[in-house]
Structure 1
């Protein structure tokens, strides 16, 4: 029996791809200039519009998916008799996962026969998207929900996530990084490299002088231990840099394919313009 896959707008998946591959997206929201925007659907706030506003001094904030939204989605699938696998944005970075767990418990009281499996991916952006792509491929190859969930839970500790940001101010402003950690972001020509550690927390990894050198360092970190031939590059309003980063990754032994995707508006809110990110899967847990 096949099953449905749900993930968040923070997975930064292209909506057309998601529709074609039967992956449902549920959206966090963004408030900018006192207006709240959706991040999924035809009227969604785009990353380009958001980043332009940030460069002009805008200070957007994000809100997690609430319990009621999950209830609505879970109830619909339960009533349709769909088994559901939800791949959730890291619980360390958002309360969205906890909202989903609460909603699932409520729906299971109404529909005890329902199958609603939730995985805390401890991932974000292209990392969460990567796991969603692999889950969709596994389902389409005939794997059961249980086997697909087990596969994702095996992979997620080995998922590597690296962010190279221009300025740590946005992460500090959103509460994702302490003020003391953010001070390095103000140093002249110092490019902060961050990663998601084994607990899913975003932490500084290195302080590197110069963007070119920082990108080379990020490639070295991301490819020390290759367990999957695909890598993902994500970017905030700098496609040329993303293309150059892709070419560097393709020179690495073991990397055969590099997918490029823009950072979505939720993640862009926290990392800011000029950010580059790399996502790889290693052989060993991070």
Structure 2
């Protein structure tokens, strides 16, 4: 029996790719200038619009996928006699994962024999998205849910996530960093470099003067322990810098493929304009 793959909009996957690969995306929402926007569907908020508003002073916020949305998606799959694999946004960065767990429990009360598996990726953006891609590839190759789950469990602890942001104000405002940690972001021309640690927390790891030096430092960190031939580069409104990162990563030993993915509106809300990110998979757990 095949299984259904579900993820959320923080994975930053295109809806065209999701349709072609039979992956359901549930959307977090963004509140912008008094209006609540979806992040999936034909009327979704785009990162381009969001980032322009942010550059003009808007201060958007986000809301998690709620229990009801998950319950509806899980019930539909179960009623169609499908097992479910939900690949989730980091539980440390959002309550979305917990909403999914609550919804699963509700569905299992009515369908105790149903199979609904939830993976907390402790990841976000292109890192989370790449894990979903790997799951879809495994399913297409005929792997079972259990085999696919094992692949993701093996890779996700080895996923390295690096963010180079213009400043830390947006992360502080959204509660993802403390005010003390964010002070460095207010210093002139200092570009903070962060990563997601083993516990899923977003942690500042370097203070670099200038964007070019910041990109160099990020590439150095991302290239230290390569255990998988594909990397992901993500960006907020700076495709030229993303292409430059791609070329430099391809020159790294062990990297053969680099995917470029724009940061979606949910992640962009928290990291702000001009952010760059690199995701690689190491040999050892982070």
Fold match by TM threshold 0.5: yes
For residue 149 of structure 2, what is the aligned residue in structure 1? 149
The C-alpha deviation readout for 1:136-157, integer Å capped at 9, x for no partner, is: 0111111100011011011111
Structure 2 counterpart SS, 1:172: helix
**Residue 246 (1) aligns with residue 259 (2):** no
Equivalent runs, 1:23-102 vs 2, <5 Å: 23-102=23-102
Alpha-carbon distance, 1:245 to partner: 0.7
| Structure-1 separation of matches of 2:246 and 2:183 | 30
Structure 2 counterpart SS, 1:87: strand
Please give the TM-score of this superposition, normalised by the length of structure 1: 0.99
Alpha-carbon distance, 1:72 to partner: 0.6
| Structure-2 separation of matches of 1:134 and 1:219 | 23
Structure 1 counterpart SS, 2:44: coil
Alpha-carbon distance, 1:98 to partner: 0.4
For residue 236 of structure 2, what is the aligned residue in structure 1? 236
| Structure-1 separation of matches of 2:114 and 2:45 | 33
| Structure-2 separation of matches of 1:266 and 1:226 | 28
| Structure-1 separation of matches of 2:258 and 2:151 | 21
For residue 276 of structure 2, what is the aligned residue in structure 1? 276
Question: What stretches of structure 1 of length at least 5 have no aligned partner?
Answer: none
For residue 200 of structure 1, what is the aligned residue in structure 2? 200
Structure 1 counterpart SS, 2:207: strand
Alpha-carbon distance, 1:193 to partner: 0.1
Alpha-carbon distance, 1:33 to partner: 0.8
For residue 119 of structure 1, what is the aligned residue in structure 2? 119
The C-alpha deviation readout for 1:150-175, integer Å capped at 9, x for no partner, is: 11011111000000000110000000
For residue 6 of structure 1, what is the aligned residue in structure 2? 6
Equivalent runs, 1:115-264 vs 2, <5 Å: 115-264=115-264
Question: What stretches of structure 2 of length at least 5 have no aligned partner?
Answer: none
| Structure-2 separation of matches of 1:46 and 1:274 | 15
Q: How many residues align?
A: 286
| Structure-1 separation of matches of 2:251 and 2:213 | 17
Moved over 3 A (4+): none
The C-alpha deviation readout for 1:197-242, integer Å capped at 9, x for no partner, is: 0000001010011111110110111111111100000000000010
Please give the TM-score of this superposition, normalised by the length of structure 2: 0.99
Alpha-carbon distance, 1:189 to partner: 1.1
| Structure-2 separation of matches of 1:204 and 1:186 | 14
Alpha-carbon distance, 1:4 to partner: 1.0
| Structure-1 separation of matches of 2:253 and 2:160 | 17
| Structure-1 separation of matches of 2:127 and 2:149 | 16
Cα RMSD of the aligned pairs, angstroms, is 0.6
